[in-house]
Amino acid sequence: MEIEIATVGGYEEVGRQMTAVRAGDDVVVFDMGLNLSQVLIHDDVRTEQMHSLDLIDMGAIPDDRVMSELEGDVKAIVPTHGHLDHIGAISKLAHRYNAPIVATPFTLALVEQEVDDESKFTVDNDLVEMEAGETMSIGSSGQVELEFVNVTHSVIDAINPVLHTPEGAVVYGLDKRMDHTPVIGDPIDMERFREIGREGNGVLAYIEDCTNAGKKGRTPSESVAREHLKDVMQSIEDYDGGIVATTFSSHIARVKSLVEFAKDIGRQPVLLGRSMEKYSGTAERLNFVEFPDDLGMYGHRKSVDRTFKRIMKEGKENFLPIVTGHQGEPRAMLTRMGRGETPYELDEGDKVIFSARVIPEPTNEGQRYQSERLLRMQGARIYDEIHVSGHLREEGHFEMLQALQPEHVIPAHQDLKGFSPYVDLCESQGYELGRDLHVTRNGNLIQLVE
Ligand SMILES: [Zn+2]
């Protein structure tokens, strides 16, 4: 059976991930993501109303025109997890394919919301739920099967999809960390990866997320970040002024820890900001997390401001607002607080907890610097980098190669510079550039089996 891979997007950047795998006549698309930094760099862009081709020209969504060179029909669109660089282009591209969107329940709920918010295109592809550990037959040959393997990442319900073909398995390895003690959900299913490496014809190809390949050692578990956070929050337990925390809204495990520790130090947690309400509300509705009954979640400007007024009236020392703005995003809640645009007044000595790391990108770094300066000018004390990454480091990558023993390796989720540490690792394991190690760019085809 012919096996061909189209590296559509995310092979020259972190963002706008999209890869297609053709097995005979059947094609499966993995991820359709957005490169948010290409959107945010323009001040006034509202993507909901924009046409796909304009967004492609901006470099914001994958240029999927290479798909016409693949001789087969798309049978499924498979987003791996709910981050925007993996699902953010579905509302702009999925309608061009007559195929269902297959994802885990949390990811699918987020896809549904993306599609509902879209005002230019009508995406009416079927939405099909599939859980980690389940499989689905692809096409009519009876020889191709899609499987979801449970992985751990900085968002819940993440999987690595595997396409089983008569020529071997194609494992799509974006995005994960090897977490054996996650705060929500099951540990990464390494046992299944090892089985896939051994069974049948083994692994034909492994497409890997190179984000942290240049970092030594292994990425710590989410439970390490949780302990770090606990330590910080207990250390300020006796402070009788304002404490404010921020983290990635989609990071439900972290939000859960913040909510629990707020209660532990005698404060009422409250989630503020549109995306805080969206992600945590969805996770709670789908029973991924159980929040206290009295946990408030407010997204709209008016209800947020009303909550801030109430906090000021009842005493800042009784509350822990958990807000958006960990990257210093100009319109996010924490940035507005820094600019003094909300009814919440910061006093000398008030604490601000960043349970996040700055995404190393000039726009983020600049905005975050500005936001932090504004907070410090009002006397805030800053607790930074209470965080662990969601991506594998060098030893995690080594372990994955050991487990899967792939015949071919395709580095992804980075630019050329970002690929190089992973290329070094693969070469040290006997892979050869151009033979079985395929460094590529956006919009290319790699024929693995003719
Ligand atoms: Zn991700």
63 Cα: distance to centroid of ligand 1 (angstroms) = 20
Ligand 1 centre distance from Cα of residue 254 (Å): 15
pLDDT at 359: 84
| Range 381-410 average pLDDT | 97
The binding site for Zn(2+) comprises: 81, 83, 85-86, 153, 175, 413
CA of 75 to the centre of ligand 1 (A): 24
Query: Could you tell me the distance, in angstroms and rounded to a whole number, from the CA of residue 81 to the centre of ligand 1?
Result: 7
Is residue 320 classed as helix, strand or coil in its secondary structure? strand
Q: What pLDDT shows up at residue 355?
A: 97
Domains and CATH numbers, the chain: 3-218+390-449 (3.60.15.10), 222-383 (3.40.50.10710)
Per-residue pLDDT tens digits for 126-139: 999 999 999 999 99
Whole-number Å distance between alpha carbons of 436 and 430 = 9
pLDDT at 119: 85
For residue 103, what pLDDT band results from cuts at 50, 70 and 90? very high
Distance CA 385, CA 352 (A): 12
State percent of the chain over pLDDT 90: 93
- Rounded distance from Cα 305 to ligand 1 centre (Å): 31
| Binding-site residue set for substrate | 387-391
CA of 140 to the centre of ligand 1 (A): 32
Pairing of strands 73-78, 26-30: parallel
Distance 391 CA to ligand 1 centre (A): 8
State whether residue 323 is helix, strand or coil.
Answer: strand
Going from the Cα of 175 to the center of ligand 1, the distance in angstroms, rounded, reads 5
Nearest-angstrom CA–CA distance, 93 and 123: 8
Cβ-Cβ contacts under 8 Å for 87 (sequence gap 6 or more)? 31, 32, 33, 34, 79, 81, 107, 110, 111, 114
- The distance in angstroms from the start CA to the end CA of the chain is 7
Residues belonging to the binding site are 81, 83, 85-86, 153, 175, 387-391, 413
pLDDT of residue 43: 65
pLDDT digits (tens, 9 = 90+) for 164-208: 999 999 999 999 999 999 999 999 999 999 999 999 999 999 999
Q: How close is the Cα of 154 to the center of ligand 1, in Å?
A: 7
Q: What does DSSP say about strands 381-383 and 351-355: parallel, antiparallel, or unpaired?
A: parallel
* pLDDT, mean of residues 108-119: 94
Maximum alpha-carbon separation in the chain: 71
